[in-house]
Structure 1
C-alpha cells in the first residue's frame, strides 16, 4: 500500500475524535498537530521529535514558523499545489504576516481520481472532520508536504 493510502486510512479513522488542545489520542481528543502526530505514530511507530507545551496563541505570540520548520525537517517539501495528492500534509496561515498554525491531510470528497478537493483536520471547538478545500482555505495554504516512505 502506498504511503498516501495509509495516511488517508489512518486519518479517516480519526474523524469524530473531539478537539482537545495539545492532545493526540485517537477517539479521545486531539488538535490539528495532534492529528498529524497520531498519523505519524500510526505509520512509523513513534513520533519524530518531542513537542513542547504550547498555548493556543503560540503563532501570534512568537511569530516563528515552528510548524513549517518541523514539517521541513521530517516531511518532503512539495513545490506547489499542482504536485499535491490526497494523503499529503497541508499547512495553513490564517493571516498574512502570521506564522502557519493549522494542519490537515489532503483528500477527496469522492472516490474519483483527481486533485485534492478536501482535507481532514481537527476543527477547533469541534472534532476531526473533513472539510471542502474551498477558495478561502486554498488562499491560506502556507506549505505542502509529503510523508516519507518507510525505509
Structure 2
C-alpha cells in the first residue's frame, strides 16, 4: 500500500471510494437531504474545486487502485476519511490519518464525525468536544485530536 497526494487523475476513483463507504455505513441513518448533500461534496468536480484551496488530499492505493481517501482543510480540519468497504479494518484509515497529521498546521485537528464513525475516531485518539449537530441534513459529532 502506498499513501500519496491525490492527483486530478484520481478524482473519479476518490469520489467512488467516498460514496461507496458513505452509502455502506452512513447513508442508512440520514434523510434524503443529507444524502444529497454528501453526494455533492464527494463529487469529482467538488474534489477538483477543493484541490485549489488550502487543502491536503491523500489517497491510499495499491497496484494503481485507489481504495482510501483523506482530506485535511486549512491545516486543522479533517473533512474526509473514507476507505472502501471491502478494505476496511485493515489499518488503511489509520495510515491515511497518520500521514495527514504530518501536514497539520495546528496542534489540534478537528472533525465532524458521522455518528457511525465516532468509535473509530475514538480509537484514533479523538475526543468528543460538543453536542451532536446537524447541517444540510448531515448529522455529526464534533471531535478533536490533540497532536503531541
TM over 0.5: no
Query: Shorter-chain TM-score: which interval?
Result: 0.3 to 0.5
* Higher share of residues assigned helix: 2
TM-score, normalised by the number of residues in structure 2: 0.32
Output the TM-score relative to the length of structure 1: 0.32
Higher strand share: 2
